[in-house]
Structure 1
Amino acid sequence: MKKRFFCSFLGAFSLLHLPSFGQAQKIPKQLDALVAAYAKAGQFNGTVLVAHHGKVIFTKGYGLANREWNQPNAADTKFRIGSLTKQFTAMLVMQLVEKGRLRLDGPVSDYLPNYPKPNGDKITLHHLLSHTSGIPNFAASAAREAASRLPTTPQAAVRGFSALPLEFEPGSTYRYSNSGYILLGAIIEQVTNKPYAQVLAENILQPLHMQDTGYDLPSTIIPKRAAGYEKTAAGVVNAPYLDMTGPYAAGSMYSTVGDLYQWEQALYTTQLLSEAGKAQMFKPFKNDHAYGWNTARLLMGADTVAVLRHAGVINGFRAFLLRAPKDHHLVVALDNESNDYTPKISTMLLRVLYNQPAVGPEPEPQPPKP
């Protein structure tokens, strides 16, 4: 579930020769050729969706959703999306802010009186949302890794890191922390007196008719769910088991590319949040990180394009959502074989939309021998 950053240097890769941009009907063929090259190279196994000026022009699955049943990935395959969950948690917080039930400058102690002082008095919701709280990333700790197979509760998860010393003074710097979003989930539950999954469904999923998205409760039967895999020197194996009560509000959702398109389209409207609220949510702070999003400017020929993006990394799955709001372009890539190329593939697909050369796959490094 840890955040991974992506940088591309076009000179370091061989260019994939695609058909000229040409007419609009040729674009899907270019997109398919690009993703197929990565799939053939063993660097992508999942489903992608591309929207051009707000309209879906391409969606396709590659590889297998379930190897044991030889079930292919498809447009409606459900994937765990890891830290893309943070976008939804940030939206729930901002909705409660607009309702006057939370304050961005409100300290944690205002909402969780039992949170240890003095840290609870100086860490605000803004710090949690922007990864500037100083709370250690408990999800990356050895203790958390050992307990990841066991069910937990938000209260137990918060106790696991609340007494730890801060890594820096709140607001002074940036360090990605799943702990902050777990804490936000606990605050949402405390304020609403409802489980996080219920608040998520009532305030986002149901209004947007995202019927193929949800909180991955351990007991829930989820049709068309992809199995998660990892590559080893011995071949592809089932990903290690992870109880999804652990990632919680920081990473426990599943979705489809189509539902994530519906989510992204709603961000152009005020159905979920006012224009002022969205402006606050998308505003970059330290390290160009906004609330649940990373901001960037990508070079597209002679121009730069402002984008919002985020990765999701969780056992057996990789996810990436990349949007260019000015032009209403969107790329979603969901992978169930732990391939780390979803950021690169997404960026290359976006380049196709801007009539720029796309970069093909490099030879994949071989896993270390046991």
Structure 2
Amino acid sequence: MTDDRTAQTLRSIAPYLADWASFQAAYHGMPGLQLAVGRRGEVFVDLAWGTANLETGEALTSDHLFRVASHSKTFTTVLVMQLVERGELRLDDAVGALVPELGDATAAGITVRELLGHQAGIIRDSSDGDFWQYERPFLDREQVLECVRTEGVVFEPNEHFKYTNIGYSLLGIIIERVTGKTYDEVARAAVVEPLGLTRTGTELDPARADEYAAGHTGRISHDDARRVIPHVDTRAMAAATGWYSTALEMVRYGATHMLGDTTLLTDKSKRLVQREESTVAVRGKELGRYGVGIELGKVGDRELVGHSGGYPGHITRTWIDPVDGLVVSALTNAVDGIATQIANGVIQIVNLALAAADEVAAAAAGGNPLPAVPADAPVGRFANLWGVFDVADLGGILHTINPRHPQPAEVAQRLVVSDGRLAQESVAGFGAVGEPVQAERDGAGAVVAARFGAMTAWPVEEYRTRVLSQ
């Protein structure tokens, strides 16, 4: 697919991406959602939906700051790799030589690379990680070092992938020892300022307290009331979990992980970071994949890098296609946030649309163009007693999608023009495949009802009116 056609397709589906994501957030009871979608310098979606603070009723905006938590690890990885590129640090350096306070502790022999790839066997959050639910403060520098010295090693290096916030906190201390500067000073000079980020930083900024979206508790039962969770300083654990940002600025930062963009790192460094270091599997089931300081994933055939983040009250996810340049960032402000589900679903819709656009272009180039989407096609959201579904033009082909489903690619069906009439695609299926679509219109030509097979459906607001009036 040409870049022009990709950009044109993304522009055309941007309103539906925002609409689908908003529906997902509302359906799952999220307080608020920020979503940004960009590619190669162009932003297609910059969505702020819902509420920043349920107690005050403040509306969420694109400028509200979110704690992006473990996204911090990717920033820390960039800082480490910049030091490696300058020859100030080596990936095979033993941490004991860099942090003499570790003395002869078992962890002193662990290497920088093993810390970056979560292969050091270091304890995840110390033996008392209740700072994650505010029963105690996050650890300071001396507490991190004491943890590493006395209880740090759980596995032998490279025995198992073992995710560790303590290990990344130690990387923050290493950055400070190598540079002679604070972690925040290094990060600002190396990442924040070069990218012109004004709503991104390493740690809670009290001077900007009013700019943060509030965090909210999760729900045990569907009707549980949420309460606001205050923000706190993560102290010496900032390198693992302290950063804040917005979806839009995460897209800007995420773009620098694309191959060919050397703003922060060389392609040589990015290939090393993005190469698979660990397949995380238990009893034959794959749980995920990780590189050297960045998470690896796949949506459809699209290989991705990025990270998720979990902070008390905020759940976040950013995915980056380092080859194509697509970046999707979803930020939610509740402990049970569905950020990954939304980001993955958005990418599935993008993949559907780009595949359809390729199919349309190939048919035209082969001299057998597909019928165009009818100008009066019943596009929109419809509902009846049995549920809700969308009709959307994705890449020049109409698709129906159940917006309640977390994986739109699994439930998408096509509508095609057959013998001059709009019909459901003639394929095998349990639904009304091959059957015509019939639309009822008012005097102005607006669709007031439609029959997609056997049952009538109505535009959502019309259906609500019908139900409420009965």
Indicate the residue corresponding to 2:313 in structure 1. 316
Once superposed, what is the RMSD of the aligned Cα atoms? 2.4
CA–CA distance in structure 1, aligned partners of residues 126 and 405 of structure 2: 31
Instruction: Check if 1:258 corresponds to 2:248.
Output: yes
Q: Which amino acid aligns with 1:72?
A: A
The range that moved more, 353-362 or 256-265, is 353-362
Indicate the residue corresponding to 1:129 in structure 2. 116
Q: Which amino acid aligns with 2:404?
A: P
**Residues 332 and 338, structure 2, Cα contact 8 Å, conserved in 1:** no
CA–CA distance in structure 2, aligned partners of residues 139 and 203 of structure 1: 29
1:1-370 alignment to 2 at 5 Å?
24-44=10-30, 45-52=32-39, 54-138=41-125, 141-142=128-129, 144=131, 149-150=136-137, 152-164=139-151, 166-217=153-204, 219-232=206-219, 233=221, 234-239=224-229, 242-245=232-235, 247-268=237-258, 269-287=261-279, 288-299=289-300, 304-355=301-352, 360-361=403-404
Ranges in structure 1 where 5+ consecutive residues have no aligned partner: 1-21, 364-370
Deviations 1:116-142 (A, max 9, x none): 425244200001000000111125744
**Residues 149 and 243, structure 1, Cα contact 8 Å, conserved in 2:** no
**Residues 242 and 315, structure 1, Cα contact 8 Å, conserved in 2:** no
CA–CA distance in structure 2, aligned partners of residues 260 and 123 of structure 1: 31
Indicate the residue corresponding to 1:9 in structure 2. none
**Residues 47 and 62, structure 2, Cα contact 8 Å, conserved in 1:** yes
**Residues 218 and 226, structure 2, Cα contact 8 Å, conserved in 1:** yes
Indicate the residue corresponding to 2:440 in structure 1. none
Deviation at 1:43, TM superposition (A): 4.2
The range that moved more, 93-102 or 288-297, is 288-297
Deviations 1:317-353 (A, max 9, x none): 0110011222211110011122331111101100111
Q: Which amino acid aligns with 2:13?
A: I
Q: Which amino acid aligns with 2:251?
A: Y
Distance 1:23 1:247, change over 3 A: same
Q: Which amino acid aligns with 2:298?
A: R
3-state SS in 1 of match to 2:15: helix
Distance 1:317 1:96, change over 3 A: same
Q: What TM-score results when the alignment is normalised by the length of structure 2?
A: 0.67
**Residues 52 and 330, structure 1, Cα contact 8 Å, conserved in 2:** yes
Deviation at 1:241, TM superposition (A): 5.5
**Residues 126 and 151, structure 2, Cα contact 8 Å, conserved in 1:** no
CA–CA distance in structure 2, aligned partners of residues 135 and 180 of structure 1: 6
The range that moved more, 276-285 or 37-46, is 37-46
Indicate the residue corresponding to 1:14 in structure 2. none
Deviations 1:30-66 (A, max 9, x none): 2122112112213442210112455211111111112
Distance 1:23 1:90, change over 3 A: closer
The range that moved more, 109-118 or 346-355, is 109-118
Q: Which amino acid aligns with 2:291?
A: A
**Residues 46 and 334, structure 1, Cα contact 8 Å, conserved in 2:** yes
Q: What TM-score results when the alignment is normalised by the length of structure 1?
A: 0.84
CA–CA distance in structure 1, aligned partners of residues 346 and 205 of structure 2: 34
